[in-house]
Structure 1
Amino acid sequence: MKQKEVINSNDGIRLGFISDIEVDLQDGKLTKLIVPGPAKLFGMFGRGKEYQIPWDSIKKIGEDIILVEINVEKSLVESDY
């Protein structure tokens, strides 16, 4: 799945590629996709935020892309790392 680009179907914005996933180990279910947020100042200072996309926001998983339906501002949160 890391080779698939994540695109928001609401506005067509390319969010990027999956960097991590969150799994509920008790239920054995995927709960979130994690996509790095926009880079700071030409990427020299890393990334401070990430898109956390709940599993139920995924609308379609294709051969090359994953279509999601999210509110970009609400999904872009401070990174835990």
Structure 2
Amino acid sequence: MPLSISLAMHLPEFILFASDATIVGLWGGLFLLIAVLALAGDWLRARRKDVDRVGCMPWTPIFLACAMIGVGLMVVAVKGWIAG
């Protein structure tokens, strides 16, 4: 059995039969969730007790990139949902 068929058989019906707008909305929600996690990481880094322990993750650019992508995808999804 090809890989794509075996993966499709295990997807829930909600995702398997979802519209393109719903799939884009799910991806947009995922990017917004990552943006919120990056914002929390930046908030924790700014309030660390030992200022010499600098982290290696660029939380602000991760937040900005994920937030822009997520908002863009959600706008496209909402436009698709409204259009029907």
TM bucket by the smaller chain? under 0.3
> Higher helix fraction: Structure 1 or Structure 2?
2
After TM superposition, the score normalised by the length of structure 1 is 0.20
> Higher strand fraction: Structure 1 or Structure 2?
1
After TM superposition, the score normalised by the length of structure 2 is 0.19
Structure number with the bigger relative contact order (C-alpha 8 A, sep ≥ 6) is: 2
Larger Rg: 2
